[in-house]
A = this chain, B = another copy of it.
Amino acid sequence: MKEIDQGAEHNTVKERILKEALRLFSEKGFEGTSLQAIADAVGIQKPSLIYHFPSKENLRQNVVESLIVYWKNELPRMLTTSQDDSNRLVSTMTSLVNFFMEDVNRARLVVREMIDRPEETFSVLNEHVSPWTRLIGDYLRMGQQGGIYKKDVDPNAYIVQVMVMVVGTVAMGTVISGMVSASTDISHGPLIKELVRIVQASLYADKK
């Protein structure tokens, strides 16, 4: 019975720990979060935490891995979902935005990992994500030859920039909004709409 629930139930202690750790790591950072704080958030004692995850570092790796697993399952689905070639790229990007918007903590954790552990994160991205982005790159180059996309687009750099915008907008968009408006609660809506516009306008060739 216990083995049947494994993975399906969303309330096992282990999953609650991962959930609270993700939240606290992304809000306060890895170094800024104590095991005590996580234990308190879950409602257990510190040694019980250590029982499930033998060290803080191990817990961090598991939190990160839980995000990677999600990606490895979802990315292929995103890339194959829309049959329509013309907006496959935009629909993939939209799925990506939705993934991060589902839980802003995901974007913030990714940003933190990239700044805290640049080399390590580089390797992780290269190993788990680059196979799929390479496909997008090929797709872009084909579109360029076919005249659909602007010829001065640098496919690789373009993909990186789109990623910077997606992650950056979700993680920092509302904060940077302080640069242009005093209202504290600028929703992500207009930012993402403009994000999509920029991504498209800078990609598609002008109609002659």
A residues bordering B, Cβ < 8 Å?
A: 26, 28-32, 108, 111-112, 114-116, 118-119, 121-126, 129-130, 133-134, 137, 150, 152-154, 156-161, 163-165, 167-169, 171-182, 184, 190-191, 193-195, 197-198, 201-202, 206-207
With CB as the reference atom, state the residue of chain B lying closest to A159.
B180
Interface of A, secondary structure class, is: helix
A178 touches B29 (CB 8 A): no
Q: Which residues of B contact A29 (CB under 8 A)?
A: 29, 31-32, 115-116
> Complex formed: what's the CA distance from A163 to B178 in Å?
11
Report the Cα distance A112→B108, complex, angstroms.
10
- Which one of B111, B122, B158, B182 contacts A174 once the chains associate, using CB atoms below 8 Å? B122
List the 6 shortest-distance A-B pairs measured between CB atoms, nearest first.
A157-B194, A31-B32, A122-B178, A168-B168, A125-B178, A126-B178
Tell me the complex Cα distance, A206–B150, Å. Answer: 13
Given contacts A129-B178, A160-B179, A164-B173, 4 further A-B contacts (CB under 8 A): A125-B175, A150-B201, A156-B181, A158-B198
